[in-house]
Structure 1
Amino acid sequence: MIEEYKRSDGTVVRRHVRLPAGARRQTAIAGLIVAGVFLFGSGNTTTGARTQSGQHRLPQPQSTVVYPIKWPGWDKPVVQPTPTVSYPIVFPTTGSGR
């Protein structure tokens, strides 16, 4: 809330609210979403299938992964390269110092 004030040229500015750009639209959209969730989300419906006597239950998902996970070449590790020089190499630099 911006209170009433007087500009340097003498114009009186009334008390008003200054919202950021797009705030009114975003607030309206958020209000509609909340109202929709409140109206449609408070019904007496339940999720999932109800099982009655004589009906079969729906199949449940099963895990298909086998642990530990192994990639091709798992049993044959690759030898990592090692440096052939053990002393620091000084490269010539340009005049910029980079």
Structure 2
Amino acid sequence: MPYIEPYTRADGTYVRGHYRWAAGARHEMALLAVAAMTIVGIGNGTPDAATGSQQSPRPQKTATYPIRFSDSGQAVKPQPQKPVTYPIRFSKVERNPAPGRSVSYPVHFKTNGRER
């Protein structure tokens, strides 16, 4: 791709430097894309066409669902228990009261918020 240097048109419009496709390059790229898609399409044919009358192997079922183990269900499941049975008292943290609002709403911009 040739590089076009920046220039100014006759009407005064500035044009930045840029790359431009060479003459005929778009047509050649389109032909190359069609050829590549054709090759990919032919390559993804069915296996029967390439190997003759042989069947491709199919996976066999090897497990029965749901899976159950022989000793499953015999053991008792442990139930969750409380760690303690007595109430735990926590000391109360003294907090400072929240500060009051310093602005009364709505703010009237005519008086610039001076009258409260």
TM-score range (shorter-chain normalised) is 0.3 to 0.5
Normalised to the residue count of structure 1, the TM-score between the two structures is 0.35
Q: TM-score, normalised by structure 2?
A: 0.31
Larger radius of gyration: 2
